[in-house]
Structure formats: C-alpha cells, structure tokens
Structure 1
Amino acid sequence: MRATAETASLAAEAYNVVRQRIARGELVLGQAVSRRQIAAELGMSFLPVTEALLRLEFEGLLESRPRAGTRVRIPSQQDVEGNYVVRQALETQAAILFSQVATAAERSELRRLATRVDGLSMKSDRSMYVTLHLKLHQRIAECARCDALSEAIGRTHAMAMIWFCVMRKPSPDDSPRRHQHLVDEISSGDETRIATAVREHLAVGKRHTIEVLEPCFKTNSLRFSRTRSA
C-alpha cells in the first residue's frame, strides 16, 4: 500500500510539472516528450512518469503514435469545433446554475476576476492571461455547486489550455470588456440572456482559435498521412 501511495504521489508530481510546462508554452504543439528525460529531471522511476503521461493523454494534451513516441498533441479542426460544442453546452448550464446559487461574495469575486482578465487580454505576455482566463471559467463552474459539471468543464479546459499558449496575440474581435460583459449577463439571472452571452463569448474564441491553428491543422494532416503510408 505504501509503495502504491508513493507511486501515485510521484505520478501527480510529474503530471503537474508536465502540465505546467504545456500551460506556459515551454512544451509546444508537436514537441516530443521523453519519459527518460522527465524521470531523470525529477529523480524518479519510469512508472510514475508513465502514469502521468497516460493521464495527460486521456485529457487530450499528449498523444502517442507508433514510431513517433509521445508528443504534445496537435489538434485537428474537428477537435477544436467539437471542444467548443461541448463547452457551450456545459458552460451554459454552469452559468445558469451560478446565477441561481452563487453567493454575493462569489459574484463579487467573479467580477474582480473578469476585470483582471480583461486588463491582461491585450498584453503580449499570454501566460498570466491564460491562467486567469481558465480560472474565471472554472470558478463559474465551481460556484454552480455541481461537482460532476465542474469536472467535465475542467476536462474541456485542459485540452483548450494548450491552444491558448499558441495564440500569442488577442483576437481582433475582442472587446475590452468581453469577460466583464459575460459576468454581467450571467448576473442578470435571465436564462435566455445567459445562454446568448455564453454562446457569443465562445463563438469569438472558436473563430480566433481556428484561424490561429489553421497551419497546425495542415501540418497534422500531413504527418498523419505520412504515418499511415509508412
């Protein structure tokens, strides 16, 4: 039991290290990830590192292919579109529940967070923006008081996290109060307004994501074709 617990703890450590490197853009789309190198850096055996990388594969951040090894996953356009379809469904429900059950303190916290996110949205350093942006959306889910919903949204955010690191510049469609407007609409309590606000908010993100990642889609398609023909 002690060995199992120790392995789980080390796997969690390795998971957090690799995930943070992806979030900060230190590991980029398509970059190889070496189990041996990570194990050596962290001073642990292959087993916990393997468990960590399998977890990241499950979340869609990494992928393994024959003769190619493990690498940071390059999404397809279908991956992106599907992710946003799921996010819209989940985040609309979370926003409606938030409007019904969130406390006054939580609403104030969300407004402050939205102001910070908007303040960072036009800056060239995207690392802090990515962190706070994901935190904002996750807090809406957490304050909806539904663990299953919050966990499902967290999984969609894990996959999207890496795309934000590629998008070094803000979308030209971004409003200076884009996230504050979203929070205002959620706070209205009107389900129609909330659903519309979430849909429009995510639509801007989807357009920008697809535009920026288009070269990656082509590269991924070419690599996949070569792998199949090899």
Structure 2
Amino acid sequence: MAETTVHTFQSSADIAYNQICKKILDGELAPGQRLTRREMANLTGVSIIPVIEALHRLEDEGLVESVPRVGSRVLLVTDDVIRDRLMLREAIECQVVRILSESITGEQINNLMYMADQLDSTSRETEYSDVFWDRHYRFHATMAEYSNCQSLITGLRKLNLFHILQRQTKSVHAIRHEFPGNWHRRVVEAIQQGDPDNAEKVLREHIERSLIFRKQTQNRRNDKKSKEG
C-alpha cells in the first residue's frame, strides 16, 4: 500500500508571515529596522500584497509597528514598551490565577507542581538559555490554557513573542536572582488554596519585583552613562 504524504497548505501571506516572524525572533531583522514592502517581498519570495497582510498580522502580534513617514519597522524595545508589556502581563496572569483558584482540578495542580519544581530547579547559570525560558513560558502558558479563556491564552502568547524579541536585544536581566528558589511553586500552592485574592497577591508580588528590579537596573545604567559623559 502506497504511503500518503500530507501537505499543509500555506498561503503566500502565511509564507511571508512565517519567514519575517522567524527573522525577527532570530535577530536577523533588528528592532527599529525598516520593513519595506519591496524588500520583504524580495526576502520572502512572494508578491507585495501578501507581504502587506503579513506585516499587518505581525503588527497585531506586537512584533512590528507602523510609524508615520517611516512605514513598518520591527518594534523598538524601549523601557516604556517593556514596562507596558509587564503591566499587560500582570493584568492577564492575575486574572488567570483568580480563575484557576476556583476551577482547577487535582490533575492540573499536580502537573503545574511538576512544571514549577522543574522550572525552579533550573540552574541559574542557564537562565539565559532556551531551556530556562522554554520552561518558563510553558509553565505560564499552561496556567493560561487551564483557564479556558481564549483571550487570556492569546494575550500571553503575544507577550511571549515580545519576550523572545526582548531577549534578542539582550535587555532581559537576571530578575530571577531576586526571587526565592521555590517562587513558581509558591504560585501553584496559592492557587491550590482556593483563595483568588491570595493567589493574585502572590503573583502580583512576583511581577512587581520584576518592575522594581528593572527600575533599579535602568537607574544604574543611567548613572553609568552620566559618569561616562
């Protein structure tokens, strides 16, 4: 019996989107770099109309921005943008843990405990590696999936794309050093207690520490620039 090969159809817009997205996340297209329609068409091997659609999708994903008199460009990762995304993450994930506190199953708790312990035990020497960040994203994405709220799931996925872009700019700092070793397990334990207010409090503290550390890092960077100037 002959084997059947299954081909997944991709439109020209899909091809352009996937190729441009990959080059952005790989750092080949740097933050702030202009993405002209003609250049992107040549880069991806499709016509301009599919490129326009792809750029609109990437803008919706938060990886591309449209600037007057400039056109489309890769999103600039500024401190204001980073802070904005952290605020969005806080809103999404606090709502996620509130939902889970009232609806999570025993099997889901066990799975999250396992993932949290695995993440918390990841060596700090590898926290800039794909291993650490893949585990980090899978943990938070799984919590969002357990909420059964598509808007929260999609929002967190977009934030992860931004985080990958942020990592390419080397603007991700070692905020994990500021947290106790069992930090993610503490989040799961708070969910397990069934108190939405306490679960939200624990997660909010986690994110607020990230903001504090980032502010301290930025202040040190500004002080260094002032001394060099």
Q: TM-score, normalised by structure 1?
A: 0.72
User: 1:100 aligns to what?
Assistant: 102
User: 2:129 aligns to what?
Assistant: 126
Deviations 1:180-230, CA, capped at 9 Å, x for gaps: 32223222222232011110111122334455678999xxxxxxxxxxxxx
Deviations 1:133-184, CA, capped at 9 Å, x for gaps: 2232222111111223323333444444422443455224143333232223
Q: Which amino acid aligns with 1:92?
A: C
User: 2:143 aligns to what?
Assistant: 140
User: 2:209 aligns to what?
Assistant: 204
**CA distance in structure 1 between the aligned counterparts of 2:204 and 2:153, rounded to whole angstroms:** 18
Q: Is the 1:124–1:168 Cα contact (8 Å) retained in structure 2?
A: no
- CA RMSD in angstroms comes to 3.3
**CA distance in structure 1 between the aligned counterparts of 2:97 and 2:145, rounded to whole angstroms:** 10
Q: Is the 2:20–2:44 Cα contact (8 Å) retained in structure 1?
A: no
**Is the aligned partner of 1:188 residue 2:193?**
yes
Which range moves more in the overlay, 201-210 or 143-152? 201-210
Q: Which amino acid aligns with 1:198?
A: L
User: 2:174 aligns to what?
Assistant: 170
Q: 1:212 to 1:48 in 2, by over 3 A?
A: farther
Q: How many residues align?
A: 211
Q: 1:111 to 1:159 in 2, by over 3 A?
A: same
User: 1:87 aligns to what?
Assistant: 89
* Unpaired segments ≥5 residues, structure 2: 1-8, 223-229
Q: Which amino acid aligns with 1:190?
A: D
- CA shift, 1:109, in A, is 2.6
Deviations 1:49-85, CA, capped at 9 Å, x for gaps: 2212222222322123355443221244443333333
Q: Is the 1:124–1:169 Cα contact (8 Å) retained in structure 2?
A: no
Q: 1:160 to 1:148 in 2, by over 3 A?
A: same
**CA distance in structure 1 between the aligned counterparts of 2:48 and 2:139, rounded to whole angstroms:** 35
Q: Is the 2:166–2:172 Cα contact (8 Å) retained in structure 1?
A: no
| Corresponding residue SS for 1:64 | strand
User: 2:58 aligns to what?
Assistant: 56
| Corresponding residue SS for 2:134 | helix
Q: Is the 2:102–2:195 Cα contact (8 Å) retained in structure 1?
A: no
User: 1:42 aligns to what?
Assistant: 44
| Corresponding residue SS for 2:73 | strand
Q: 1:42 to 1:182 in 2, by over 3 A?
A: same
- CA shift, 1:125, in A, is 3.8
**CA distance in structure 2 between the aligned counterparts of 1:60 and 1:190, rounded to whole angstroms:** 33
Larger radius of gyration, structure 1 or 2? 2
- CA shift, 1:38, in A, is 4.2
Deviations 1:85-143, CA, capped at 9 Å, x for gaps: 33222211111212332333332332233234331554154334333322322221111
Which range moves more in the overlay, 94-103 or 15-24? 15-24
Q: 1:194 to 1:122 in 2, by over 3 A?
A: farther
Q: TM-score, normalised by structure 2?
A: 0.72
Q: Is the 1:74–1:216 Cα contact (8 Å) retained in structure 2?
A: no
- CA shift, 1:25, in A, is 4.0
* Unpaired segments ≥5 residues, structure 1: 1-5, 218-230
User: 2:227 aligns to what?
Assistant: none
